[in-house]
A and B are shown apart, each in its own frame.
Chain A
Amino acid sequence: MPIKRTSAISHCPGRLAAPVTRRDMLRTAANGFGLVALEGLLAENRATAAPAEAFRHLPHFAPRAKNVIFCFMDGGVSHVDSFDPKPKLDELDAKPFTESKNPTANGNRQWLKSPWAFKQYGQSGMLVSSLFPRIAECADDLAVIRSMKADLPIHSTGVLRLHTGSNNAGRPSLGSWAEYGLGSENRNLPGFIVLSFGVVPCGGLENFSNGFLPASHQATMFNADGIPIENIQPGDKDRRIQETKLALLLDQDKAFARDLGNDDAVESAIRNYEMAYRMQTLVPDVLDLSRETEATQKLYGLDSKVPSQRLYGIQCLRARRLVESGVRFVEITCPPGASNGTWDQHGNLKAGHEKNALDTDQAIAGLIRDLKARGLFEETLVMWAGEFGRTPHSAGRDGRDHHPEGFTVWLAGAGVKGGTIYGATDELGMQAVENVCTIHDLHATILHLLGLDHERLTYRSSGRDFRLTDVHGRVVHEILA
């Protein structure tokens, strides 16, 4: 049974009850708020705490999506083995291929047909390979873009480009832009969260960086195993001890702030202690999956015997809970695999891709179903993408190399026209040839769904106004509902 959204929200600690106007925000964020809030907090009168800074910028137009869940397929899924069938490859299989100028694809090469069979799914009759049987069942919810084009066949630049629109590090991540543009909906949780398996992707943590945006927009990493966030576990086991210290600090810091003429920075820092204090309990609370029914847990594959599959399921379920709690942008990374990205199967394609698909397929499909059941699917955008595809040709018989010239991503959920196939690669999956879609186009589309005009969402740094999409980007209206 679909659960009404409102009931889910109202029980979620920290979730703002009603939209806050910009004026309200300015009023409540004025000097002195922090002191009042922490005092209230320590008096255990939490209801009186005023809402924190929110909706820094209102959207440019009515948003279709309020939240994004980005399933990052690190390393590059093979498009010709997943969502972009190429029967022609069967004909040419093992015939020599000689044109490659790709520096990551040296050696004597030959065409390689897909080891997986494709089948039609849903009313749309979308062709999906046997790698993703569960996601395939959601075919009518997906808008598959088969004509993606990235820039270089290099992991670091590819991953950075997918996340930040730039080949080089230093720019804000998509999630940071989204949070910067729309603000957070929960005063006690970060607005951009990366669910991490401890893997530092190529390009480094810069992929999740706020770049030149204020640091509050950087991603907060939640670990899959163990302690979810750095320093979230209270150093004091006994809550009263921490509260005693906080009370002492409050008195001292108030006096210090007063000495400095009600210094704004000191007061903000005091306010941060309030949020930190609350996060200590709220974060474990939000991540507590034991509150989910057994059926829900199963839906995500939490009963799996395969540890990585189970962990990925946990991450997807956590993503739903976070989005439900008002987190704007959640990215789910992949469980550890090949050293340059889980899906980076230069060799061992069959076993490698099958393992990765097993890890992610059920949980992602489960996520889509669960979002739908809860009425969250209309306002949550699910994005499935890697930094590039994989070559339709190969040096061996069981591996594929990096392929940015044409590959596949898909979107589902809020504002997306399900059962859509957009764009195409040539008959061998080499080049995106029809309705070519760049990473900038993808970003422009996602921002559009969030109610943000990618040309107007700018930030001034070092004397120029930066955009996620640089000077490019076209909203792919064709896949929008």
Chain B
Amino acid sequence: MRHCFLYLPVLLAVLAPAAVLRADDTGVEFFEKKIRPILVQYCYECHSADAKKLGGGLLLDSREGLRNGGDSGTVIVSGKSDESLLIQAVRYGGDVVKMPPKGKLPAAAIADLEEWVKLGAPDPRTVAAAGKAGASWEEILRVRRDWWSLHPLSRPVPPQTTTTGAEQPIDRFILARLESQGLAPGKPASDTVVARRLSLVLTGLPPAPQLVADFVSQSATEQERPAALERLVDSLLSSPQFGERWARHWMDVVRFTETHGNEWNYEVHHAWRYRDYLIRAFNADVPYDQFVREHVAGDLLAQPRWNEREHFNESVIATAFYRFGEVNHDDCISLREIGFDLADNQIDTLTKAFQATTVACARCHDHKLDAISARDYYALLGVLRSSRLVSHTLDAPQVNATTMSRLRELKPALRKELAALWHDDVPQIRRFMLAAQAKRANRADAGELANGLDPQRLEKWVVAFAVEKAPLEDPLEPWRRLVAAAGNDPALLPGEWRKLAEEYAKQDRERSEFNQSQFTSYADFREAIPSDWQVAGQGLSAVPSRSGEFVLQGEGDAVVKSVLPAGRFSHHLSERLNGTLRSPVLPTGKKNISFRVMGQRSSALRLVSNNCQLNYKNYRALTSPEMQWVMFSPPDDRDSLRTYAELMTMFDNPKFPDQLSALGNDPANYKLPWEKAAENPRSFFGITQAVLHDCPEPPRPELSHLRTLLAGPEPSSFEDVAGCYATAIERAIQAWSDDKATDDDAFWLDYLLRRELLSNKMPAASRLQALVAQYRQLEGELSLPRIAPGIADGGAGFEQPVFVRGDCQRPGEKVPRRYLEVLSTNAVNFLAAGSGRLELAERIASPTNPLTARVMVNRIWQHLFGTGLVRTVDDFGHVGDLPSHPELLDFLAVKFIEDGWSVKRLIRAIVLTQAFQAASQPSAAARETDPQNRLLSHYPARRLEAEAIRDLILATSGRLDKSLYGMSVQPYREQEYADRRLFPGQLDGNGRRSVYIKNNLMESPKFLGVFNFPGGKVAQGKRDVTNVPAQALALLNDPFVLQQADVWAGRLVQRPDSAIAPRIDAMFEAALGRRPTDAERQRFEQAAMQLAELHQVPSADLLKSRIVWKELAHAMFNLKEFIYIP
């Protein structure tokens, strides 16, 4: 579906008219980018060592061949394209041979060849084609390995420069390049500009006026200035807003999004926790190598980083980065590309983010230009497919531990009180049954029989008896059948009883036999969770529930919600606790698998195939509080689809809230925002066993709980029958009271309680009431589960076959899991035991990895200077750019590693350079020689990003709410569009910084979208910067901008100014971080008066006129300077 096919540059003359060599480029780059692809695509078929038939004796796949020429002699006359046979041939003119014979090359390709010959036909191919072109991958790799970004980091010595004053090593690198081009370094920017620049770049917010004033006054002398500057930088680096800004930068790299787009736009549930993780990580200056390890394998670290204040696992949150992007919800078994596209996007993000390498281009074939083979791709795919996409519970073990143990301790006392309550019910059971039966039959004695009985309870019995077509296993079914057969003639009762007992015995036998012969146990949760199942969540943290464990109602008069059989129940202590259970890859051999489960409120049971998290196939919402069998037919190739079973509660459920929940008959959360749907956090599931089978139905309900009831002597009256029931019930209560209940006993009690046939209300002022109140209070103290989406290992690793031409229907040879060959000193495969992600993390986070430090240093440089030393921050391969300052890049990378991978130290060192503090005015010479300012002769002023523009407006108007963290706020929208999960949000986003605005894949926040807010689908380390009228329209007319102008005006008119001028000065300081010039002040004064006139505001009232100041505030927001990093 995706064709990673590298086209030849065509139409280049049109698309990139100035795409000729830059002064500092080498012919090598030109050859690699332009010429080699032409030769490969158009010429090698006939002119290479492994051509089927060599054309004209000419080899073009090696430098030697090209220079030697062919049967017609020399083909290239260096520097003279018109005289070169090769050029004449491709021009299709004159009487020379026309090449390529199949059709003329695109004009751009011909132009490139001409240009290349004019340059002297530079040809870096040092390795001869070794007798056969289309050389083996080993040979290709050997050549491609020789690429700047794959070379080990060098330790360049800062060069000597002739210009004095550059003491910083970084400045010396920059200066040396400038000098080599005859350029002078930029003049220093003013203190106010430096302060504003630093604040915008480091925190994304304007500097507080006081901060600027302090800096200006403290840097009055040359001696004081360095220290004052360092103080300013340090205070900005240590402000919490630093983390917010740099987190957002990284969010671009990992294609952060909070919904999955596609049709139903499912939530990336708890995605905001990753955003908060980033903010904390950047603020805490987590060493970048650790940051990398946490992203790649935060779930596998021997010693994860714990958040000591919040008591949760930080490291594991980073694995959420795998989970962003667009995700399709369709059936990925019949449409299995869905799963592979998803993994492709993960590989793409992983390798671009940390290695600036386009591994995803090797999905269909070996990379066309870079040192990446298809085997590399599938080795990594194996790593990802040996992993699972999961919901991680972050809570540390101590969270809720005390409360949970106190809840547990209350259970015996509760059991004692409940048993006593139910024992008191026993004597009346017989009377209730007889009275209810009489009432149902409208018998004359109904009233008399009801005498003294609780009418409400009696009604419940009537209802229970009235059930039609109840299954045999219903405990009241024998009674109903006997009434039907002998209700009018008790004389028939003994005979009917006999018949019934025989029928039950027969059914009991048949069902047991059927169940024993047809089903193989797969997993049994009654003793313990099978060791190869993965378990997470506090609801499952304790030992399994024994038969008769009970669940309390969370509120109301009723006490007990359920009496449970032996098994695993996420809610045995509280429905506020969460849980997930995951099976190993399901075994083959049997057609079907059935699970005996219960659950409610967006808990679910499903089979996951190919890591498709939103798939609707084999997904069952659990909607029953009673145990039931749920059957699936897993796909035949469940092995290669890595199909496993998963049970989870609402908070863990990635399909919650479920747009398709109506399909699962759980419409409660349909089309609500997450926080609304999760308002009631209660959710639960339970499981007792799973079985495998070929027969097309799950196990039949057994009848063991009715054996003793029907085993007794034949009754002669319905009173006797009722007596049998009373005895059975009493036995169950007694066993439960003694903590010796069996599943059958538990079933009886659960059945009766669910139908309110046993007392379940707290007597007023009773000990039971006090215990329940205590229990509920403790339950309320349980903190809700904290969850992040992420990745986890899924048992033993999996060897992924290479897909021929990327087609998942054509598996080829299997490849072991390992890292990219070119980045492995020796191609060691990963351990068989797990996915290999931990080893992968170590390979990437290694100081000897040539890319990791270079790539991050370059990203940081880009955010400080607008452009990376390598402009293509996500691609350090052959189609990427070459570094403008390769030695500086290496110097910084080495320094970065030696400084403990500290991002803050690196930023600090860079912003303290003269280059960063230079003024942004280019010299005439610089504009001529270096129009793109690659050599940094001046600081590149540039437009701020979308988020910063919005934040700046809020900060200037005074509306900014600086609170940190938390669930995202909905972007501005007036209408709800629930089908696409677009919900209304406030115009001003509650004043929160843009990083907290919900990032919706279906529709980016409107105001931000105008200013190139990134897409959330693919890694985008460098944002587009467009310059379109929609931006002008937004700043002129967007209601948010107008609203904030008014907010600011409201504050301005409160100022006790006595004239226009000081107020204008204050506005300049707030909006631009500087005072106006005299001319500017006059200009604004004049505008103020004109606007007052247009609004018919008398000049005496001008200072108090909110509307006039709103106009000026609005004008301020529209200044280019306002949205520029100076």
Contact = CB atoms under 8 A, between A and B. Distances in A.
A168 B326 contact: yes
Contacts of A459: 15
A268 B1010 CA distance: 16
Q: Identify which of A101, A205, A233, A270 gathers the most chain B CB atoms within 10 Å of its CB.
A: A205
Interface string B1-37: 1111111111110111000000000000000000000
B10 A465 contact: yes
B262 interface: yes
Nearest to A254: B1120
A291 interface: no
B474 interface: no
A168 B2 contact: yes
Given A200-B1002, A231-B1036, A272-B1031, A244 B1087 contact: yes
Contact of A200 (B977, B1111, B1124): B977
Interface stretch (B207-215, B226-234, B330-338, B739-747): B330-338
B261 A276 contact: no
B1096 to A, nearest CB: 11
A255 B369 CA distance: 47
Contact of B1080 (A101, A205, A252, A272): A252
A57 B14 CA distance: 7
B1119 interface: yes
Contact of A103 (B334, B922, B1036, B1114): B334
B262 A202 contact: yes
A235 B1042 contact: yes
Interface string A259-292: 1110101101110110111011000000000000
Given A230-B1030, A458-B15, A103 B1003 contact: no
Contacts of A166: 1-2
A169 interface: yes
A387 to B, nearest CB: 12
A470 to B, nearest CB: 6
A277 B1029 CA distance: 9
A152 interface: yes
B1083 A251 contact: yes
Contact of B1037 (A232, A253, A260, A458): A232
A249 interface: yes
A471 interface: yes
Contacts of B1091: 241, 244-245
Contacts of B4: 464
Given A242-B1036, A248-B1087, A464 B5 contact: yes
Contacts of B979: 339
A305 interface: no
Contact of B1119 (A215, A240, A249): A249
B879 A252 contact: no
Contacts of B975: 198
B167 interface: no
Interface string A225-243: 0000111111110101110
B9 A460 contact: yes
B1094 interface: yes
A240 to B, nearest CB: 6
A164 B733 CA distance: 68
Interface residues of B, number: 91
Interface string B1008-1037: 001010010110000011111111111011
A340 B263 contact: yes
A273 B1031 CA distance: 9
Contacts of A48: none
B876 to A, nearest CB: 11
A471 B6 CA distance: 10
Contacts of B982: 200
B1002 A205 contact: yes
Contact of A241 (B9, B1017, B1111): B1111
B426 interface: no
A236 B943 CA distance: 25
Contact of A245 (B1029, B1034, B1115): B1115
Contacts of B1001: 204
A460 B879 CA distance: 11
B1121 A252 contact: yes
A456 B106 contact: yes
B875 A462 contact: yes
B6 A464 contact: yes
Interface string B1068-1080: 0000000000001
A463 B1037 contact: no
A245 B106 CA distance: 51
Contacts of A339: 979
Given A216-B1026, A235-B1037, A460-B15, A252 B106 contact: no
A167 interface: yes
Given A245-B1087, A256-B1119, A270-B1120, A465 B8 contact: yes
Nearest to B6: A464
Contact of A463 (B263, B880, B1012, B1029): B880
Given A168-B2, A275-B1032, A464-B7, A103 B331 contact: yes
Given A265-B1027, A462-B358, A471 B328 contact: no
A205 B7 contact: no
Contact of B335 (A154, A255, A275): A154
Contact of B1006 (A167, A230, A255, A466): A230
Interface in B980-1019: 980, 982, 1001-1003, 1006, 1010, 1012, 1015, 1017-1018
A260 B921 contact: yes
A214 interface: yes
B760 interface: no
A155 interface: yes
B1006 A272 contact: no
Nearest to B1025: A265
A470 B3 contact: yes
Q: Which of B15, B1036, B1038 has the most CB of A within 10 A?
A: B1036
Contacts of A417: none
Contacts of B1025: 265
A257 B1126 CA distance: 11
Contacts of B265: 204
Nearest to A249: B1118
Nearest to B262: A156
Contacts of B1015: 169-170, 206
A153 to B, nearest CB: 9
B920 interface: yes
B941 interface: yes
Contact of B7 (A203, A276, A280, A465): A465
Contact of A169 (B261, B1012, B1094): B261
B617 interface: yes
A308 interface: no
B1084 interface: yes
B341 interface: yes
Given A215-B1012, A244-B1094, A265-B942, A276 B1029 contact: yes
Query: Counting chain B CB atoms within 10 Å of each CB, which of A101, A214, A266 scores highest?
Result: A266
Nearest to A258: B921
Contacts of B874: 462
B17 to A, nearest CB: 9
A24 B732 CA distance: 95
30 contacts: A166-B1, A202-B263, A204-B262, A206-B1015, A214-B1024, A229-B1033, A230-B1038, A232-B1033, A236-B1111, A241-B1111, A248-B1087, A249-B1115, A249-B1118, A252-B1080, A256-B1119, A256-B1120, A259-B921, A260-B920, A263-B941, A265-B943, A272-B1027, A275-B1032, A276-B1036, A458-B11, A462-B874, A462-B875, A464-B5, A465-B9, A465-B10, A467-B7
Given A103-B330, A460-B15, 14 more contacts: A169-B261, A170-B1015, A229-B1033, A231-B1038, A232-B1037, A245-B1118, A251-B1083, A269-B1031, A272-B1027, A456-B10, A457-B11, A460-B16, A464-B5, A465-B6
Q: Which 9 A-B pairs have the closest CB atoms?
A: A463-B879, A215-B1026, A276-B1032, A465-B7, A103-B331, A231-B1037, A231-B1033, A275-B1029, A272-B1032
